[in-house]
Structure 1
């Protein structure tokens, strides 16, 4: 009879050791592997070719990178184009956007394949908001410049080619900026006033890059977006709106950070 209390103590001690071992084993679980699929979304007036410097770095580092070519005809069309590319990916992705593309990924980013969002000098409106109204509250240099934003008779916008180099791409080589000024994709004016129906950044982790010398989007508006979204924020002093082309190493580093930590 005296042995029974001793046996009970041994059993209790074994249970504690087992529980502790289980907790330690859980704590020792390896971190989730980095996400390998990166989808890059361009903004208004340009196309996916501008992502090539970032693409080159990411692919060299072993990532599978795909660019979306949006038609820039409506927000719905651009979200649909992004979703087609998302559907082609074979696992979780990091969805990255520049400029107006931020509105696109704010909508498309609710897709379950999207593990994290990266906003590169990009808009990030909330549900019911649109970037046009938000821009009026914190106007950009370009929006206050008469004649900088042109509009066709059928409602498509573009930047005055004479203003494009200094407004959009001041830190790019002049000849490159002039070429981009003449190769703009005219963008439907209505894309800028389309309100969000969802906001992926409310449920997905996000990263944001502020272009410190951005003339297309007010840098303070970028800071507002990223602070509200609780984004991991990087400020690149002196960078123009073309930060994804002029500062590809820093932009790629933020994207890779998102890929490594979005699922942790």
Structure 2
């Protein structure tokens, strides 16, 4: 009888503890979000997403990449990461995906979110990878200055880069376009942090800057939780709610 009573008591105790155990298994919200812009842009490209994240109590930092070289951009992101108090979700648009694939190896980074972004393997030749797919139209609009900096023509920017924005908004975004250094076109990452960290990816189905099928390939290769948005390359501006929702899902914000 005594043994039976002990067994019953043990069972009751385990039952009482199980809600606590379940709570311990629930992922905690990551409060720090670091946003990394792509080429032909600056940190203002996140201007519609930032207030949506802040409204949920998240601490948001938008990095201003110099876009002169991959090394300089990774250094800028690592400086931002060093200023965070606690775990971080690292988010990138476009070329910024190369930057977070490299910088995302830092230990406080708990997840990576790619918005129509590059996601090469370590050492992979990204331009060669793009050649497996039909060329994206925006590439024809890239013009180089005599001192080695590139920028999209206004026509390519408005129609191929930000094609689903109202023209007046696309022109305002064009006005803050940041030229890129030629070194970026030949850069290769030495790390692919997505190989060992949780990842999320938003494919832009109407993208004319990165081929949507290339985006799908990269998302599938990294086993990312993937959504598809009917948008141009700049879904962060044309569909900020959907982009913010994906980031909040990655950060384990309750309800997402």
- Asked if these proteins are the same fold (TM beyond 0.5), I'd say yes
How far the C-alpha of 1:183 sits from its partner, in A, is 2.9
How far the C-alpha of 1:54 sits from its partner, in A, is 0.2
Matches within 5 A, 1:1-264: 25-29=20-24, 31-142=26-137, 145=140, 148-237=141-230, 239-260=231-252
3-state DSSP class of the match of 2:51?
A: helix
How far the C-alpha of 1:119 sits from its partner, in A, is 0.2
* TM-score normalized with structure 1 length: 0.88
Runs in 1 of length 4+ with deviation above 4 angstroms? 6-25
State the distance in 1 between where 2:154 and 2:23 align. Answer: 57
Contact 2:138 2:156 in 1 (8 A): no
Contact 1:211 1:235 in 2 (8 A): yes
State the distance in 1 between where 2:163 and 2:212 align. Answer: 15
Where structure 1 has 5 or more consecutive residues not aligned to the other structure, the ranges are 1-5
Between 40-49 and 27-36, the greater mean CA deviation after superposition: 27-36
How far the C-alpha of 1:27 sits from its partner, in A, is 3.3
Contact 1:161 1:182 in 2 (8 A): no
State the distance in 2 between where 1:195 and 1:150 align. Answer: 22
Where structure 2 has 5 or more consecutive residues not aligned to the other structure, the ranges are none
State the distance in 2 between where 1:61 and 1:105 align. Answer: 23
Contact 1:130 1:192 in 2 (8 A): no
1:206-254 alpha-carbon deviations (Å, 9 max, x no partner): 10000111000000011001101110101012x0011111100100000
* TM-score normalized with structure 2 length: 0.91
How far the C-alpha of 1:22 sits from its partner, in A, is 5.7
Q: Judging changes above 3 Å, is the alpha-carbon distance between structure 1 residues 110 and 172 closer, same or farther for their aligned structure 2 residues? A: same
Q: Which residue does 1:3 correspond to in 2? A: none
State the distance in 2 between where 1:19 and 1:134 align. Answer: 53
Contact 1:161 1:181 in 2 (8 A): yes
Q: Judging changes above 3 Å, is the alpha-carbon distance between structure 1 residues 18 and 186 closer, same or farther for their aligned structure 2 residues? A: same
State the distance in 1 between where 2:26 and 2:132 align. Answer: 42
How far the C-alpha of 1:143 sits from its partner, in A, is 5.6
How far the C-alpha of 1:154 sits from its partner, in A, is 2.8
Contact 1:100 1:123 in 2 (8 A): yes
3-state DSSP class of the match of 1:65?
A: strand
3-state DSSP class of the match of 2:252?
A: helix
How far the C-alpha of 1:188 sits from its partner, in A, is 1.1
Between 126-135 and 193-202, the greater mean CA deviation after superposition: 126-135
Contact 2:142 2:151 in 1 (8 A): yes
1:71-95 alpha-carbon deviations (Å, 9 max, x no partner): 0111010000000001100011110
Contact 2:102 2:190 in 1 (8 A): yes
